[in-house]
Amino acid sequence: MGTSLRYDKWLLELTQLPTAAGCEQHVTDWVRSWARRRKGVTLKADRFGNLLLERRGSRSKRPIIFTAHMDHPAFVVTEQMEDRRVRAEFRGGVFDAYFVGSKVRLHPREGLASVGVIKKLEPARSDSGDRSVVVVFRSRVNAAPGDIMTWHIGSARIQGDQLRAPACDDLAGVAAALAAFDVLGPSSRRLGLDVRVLLTRAE
């Protein structure tokens, strides 16, 4: 696979992963798998789940660090109200007009994804300021607190020079940071550069 096609593949895979502030596990799993397949790359995580990728043996007081965050505005399930009704809080900044009537996709930890429609937008119920929605599905779903729901806009795809994907900001940034890290590769050490990637949670 050519270099450009390989980076496009990373971009498409990452930008269709379900993610939300505090629920970035699908992205961190992808990045961990990516790092394991690369010789000489080390990955460290702090107690909050932020990830730092480095080249083994690189040391500098002034490293070059590419950074991106691993979350995106999305819904996190708080309650299954009935067989076909789910309440979720929305984590992110989106105007109210985009909620009621819009389709969302539930990504349960077990079972297949399901598409539902937002029927109600509720004001924030806690100090976090996160609004809640009530989503209705056509058939029974098995939703659990912590499951992620995303806007339903189809799979990630590149059309001409545009990317259309469920989670561009900032998973496209994650793909770009990893591609830059990969382009520089081991040659960065020969050039005297200490290049790293810092991927953060809960922007």
Q: What's the per-residue H, E or C state across 84-114? A: CEEEEEEECCCCHHHCCCCEEEEECCCCCCE
pLDDT, tens digit (0-9, with 9 covering 90-100), for 97-114 = 999 999 999 999 988 999
Looking at every residue in the chain, the average pLDDT score rounds to 92
Provide mean pLDDT across the span 131-141: 96
Give the Cα separation of 162 and 66 in Å (integer): 23
**Crossing angle, helix 171-184 and helix 25-36, to 10 degrees?**
10
State pTM to two decimals. 0.91
pLDDT(80) > 90: yes
Are 108 and 141 spatial neighbours (Cβ–Cβ below 8 Å)?
yes
Provide mean pLDDT across the span 43-71: 92
Q: Specify the pLDDT at position 17.
A: 97
**Of residues 7, 57, 4, the one with CA closest to residue 34:** 7
Question: Would you place residue 124 in the very low, low, confident or very high pLDDT band (cuts 50, 70, 90)?
Answer: confident
pLDDT, tens digit (0-9, with 9 covering 90-100), for 180-200 = 999 987 777 666 788 999 999
